[in-house]
Structure 1
Amino acid sequence: MNPTRAIALKLTSVVLFTIMASLIKATADVVPTGEAVFFRSFFAMPVIVGWLWMRGDLSTGLKAKSWGGHSWRGLLGVSAMGCNFAALGLLPLPEVTAIGFAAPMLTVFAAAVLLGERLRLFRTACVLLGLVGVMVVLWPRLSLDSLEGAALFGVMLVLASAALRALVQVQIRRMIQVEETSAIVFYFSLTATLFSLLTLPFGWVWPAPWALAMLVASGLIGGVAQIFLTSAYRFAGASVVAPFDYASILFAIVFGWVFFAEVPTPMVILGSSIVVAAGGLIIWRERQLGLRRGQARSNMTPHG
């Protein structure tokens, strides 16, 4: 266990994912979404393969026990990615990030329905609080005088991405019982690349040199970010690492302001704060329950 290293890895991955999203946003007006997904997925593969080789996990990462599970995870994941990338071209970066915080909240409900996980009262209240925060961010977009077609469509895309990401998390929880983490990481990039090719007949373009460089960089950076994210959980538990997911809103605000002249509205800041508080409460509660379970086990007699 090395919490300091884990936190450093997590924060680095958050920064890299925000850079990746900024690159995708910068090319959104000139490159179709499906093509952007292809570059993000395809150019992440060499990075991931190199990482697996350095860890000595290449043979493990290439072994799949459930092709159907990998295909379903890939379809859900690439759909979520596509919705999110399309939304980046329609909404400010901080707003996309803030609305996307609905994903971990929805995961709690999805796990309860699809995996039979127990939905405790405290957790349910925190999830509802988090969804209130998301609604605060959404409210200006839903008011009668702000029903702009493109912006409203962008909101729908982010919410669809959040719902799909929740299903992805449920699928990964199922797969982790039979599949190695390295295989899940590798085959997602592979299946996402293949699924994105299905959009080829719908108007791919040959990018300008600057756009091509950004798209290739998005894939390489996305691959490195995935490695940092995965590695963070090797040095500390989820209760230590997970809270730093919410640092993404800070970086999104900075990047949106500096590179896209997007100034976050007070509603985005307020709603994000509510969501971060709700997520922090869930993580704190789960950590407390984990400590109690550990203490109970240590107090048991040899006969249980």
Structure 2
Amino acid sequence: MVEPVQKPLYALGLRLLATLALSSLIMLVKLTSESGVALPEILFWRQVPSGILIFAWLALRGETARLRTQRLPTHARRAMLGLSGMFFTFGAPILLPLAVATTFGFTTPIFAVILSALLLREKIGPVRWLAVVLGFTGVLIIAQPGHAAIPLFGAFVGIGAGFMVALISIQVRDLSRTEESLSIVFWFSALSAPILAAALPFYASAHTPWQWFLLISCGLMGLLGQLLLTAALRYGQVASVIVMDYSALVWATIYGWLIWDELPPTATWLGAPAIIAAGGIIAWREHLHNRAISPTATSSAE
């Protein structure tokens, strides 16, 4: 399959919209959990609509062949990682204020640097290592180990979410070289939903109309966000588009204020700039690195 044409600005726009959709999803997950629905069941209803709606849409168009893949084992690994990542990503806002959980998620670029060094054997320069140190300094400021302001377990889950997103982003980027966005999202849903279904007998309960509305909204918003996210990684480099994720702090702050009447604690305002600055430095260095390797990439893509 031909390598997808790179469209950097288009990818940035897709990632910005994906961030809004996923910020809304996290808000809905927090609301749903507070209404009394267990997290494993929330994740099940988050996953099921994606696969069903994608298959139904393609079936109506007679295009189910687009879901054929030669990389089912890779999709399976992505599904297992994605499933683990969702527990971290959706567990963090349940345990923490929305803006704090979102800020911990900004550690993704920092972990991407570490994973590149450990897994890809990439040579990391001093600037990016200094950015890693700066980012983790911000994490320590927010987490304030030894203080009760932020629950230690909640901080661990929030940081774990950043790590898992970095790991998954690398794998999705690899899949996007041969698979289209619909296929990646469909197989993630199809392979992870049965595992979540096996847990339903232990967690499922009767729901009110409001809870069903929240569950269905989680599924639809998750599908929209995942499609946009995967498409962004298809048309742009991970390190380039990931800078748009910082807009999530704006949405998390707005949602937290409007729905829960909470604003981020002082430590978050002090630590967040360090984490965001670290991610920005890493993204910029990656952008310069990519330009140095492929100086004619822009002209060849047009």
Instruction: Judge conservation of contact 2:181–2:231 (CA < 8 Å) in 1.
Output: no
Give matches, 1:168-179, under 5 Å.
168-176=168-176, 179=179
Instruction: Judge conservation of contact 2:240–2:286 (CA < 8 Å) in 1.
Output: no
Q: Which sections of structure 2, spanning at least 5 residues, go unmatched?
A: 1-5, 298-302
Q: Provide the rounded CA distance (Å) in 2 between the counterparts of 1:246 and 1:256.
A: 16
User: Which residue of the other structure, out of 134, 141, 146, is the alignment partner of 1:143?
Assistant: 146
Q: Provide the rounded CA distance (Å) in 1 between the counterparts of 2:122 and 2:174.
A: 12
Q: Which sections of structure 1, spanning at least 5 residues, go unmatched?
A: 298-304
Deviation at 1:232, TM superposition (A): 3.9
Q: Provide the rounded CA distance (Å) in 1 between the counterparts of 2:284 and 2:210.
A: 44
Q: Could you say what the CA RMSD is over the residues aligned between the two structures, in angstroms?
A: 2.9
Q: Provide the rounded CA distance (Å) in 2 between the counterparts of 1:156 and 1:282.
A: 23
Deviation at 1:284, TM superposition (A): 1.4
Deviation at 1:230, TM superposition (A): 3.2
Q: Tell me the amino acid that sits aligned with residue 74 of structure 1.
A: A
Give matches, 1:224-263, under 5 Å.
224-232=224-232, 241-263=241-263
The residue that corresponds to 1:36 in the other structure is 42
Instruction: Judge conservation of contact 1:239–1:287 (CA < 8 Å) in 2.
Output: yes
SS of the aligned residue for 1:248 comes to: helix
Instruction: Judge conservation of contact 2:10–2:235 (CA < 8 Å) in 1.
Output: yes
Give matches, 1:114-153, under 5 Å.
114-139=119-144, 142-144=145-147, 146=148, 151-153=151-153
1:87 is the counterpart of 2:92: yes
Deviation at 1:45, TM superposition (A): 2.6
User: Which residue of the other structure, out of 102, 106, 127, is the alignment partner of 2:111?
Assistant: 106
Q: Provide the rounded CA distance (Å) in 2 between the counterparts of 1:245 and 1:55.
A: 33
Instruction: Judge conservation of contact 1:249–1:272 (CA < 8 Å) in 2.
Output: no
Instruction: Judge conservation of contact 2:41–2:200 (CA < 8 Å) in 1.
Output: yes
The residue that corresponds to 1:273 in the other structure is 273
Q: Tell me the amino acid that sits aligned with residue 44 of structure 1.
A: S
Q: Provide the rounded CA distance (Å) in 2 between the counterparts of 1:274 and 1:250.
A: 16
Deviation at 1:35, TM superposition (A): 0.3
The residue that corresponds to 1:186 in the other structure is 186
Deviates most, 259-268 or 155-164 = 155-164
Identity %: 31
The residue that corresponds to 1:156 in the other structure is 156
Q: Give the TM-score of the pair, scaled to structure 2.
A: 0.84
Q: Provide the rounded CA distance (Å) in 1 between the counterparts of 2:19 and 2:132.
A: 22
Q: Provide the rounded CA distance (Å) in 1 between the counterparts of 2:97 and 2:24.
A: 14
Q: Provide the rounded CA distance (Å) in 1 between the counterparts of 2:271 and 2:10.
A: 30
Alignment CA distance shift 1:235-1:45 (3 Å) = same
Instruction: Judge conservation of contact 1:101–1:275 (CA < 8 Å) in 2.
Output: yes
The residue that corresponds to 1:300 in the other structure is none
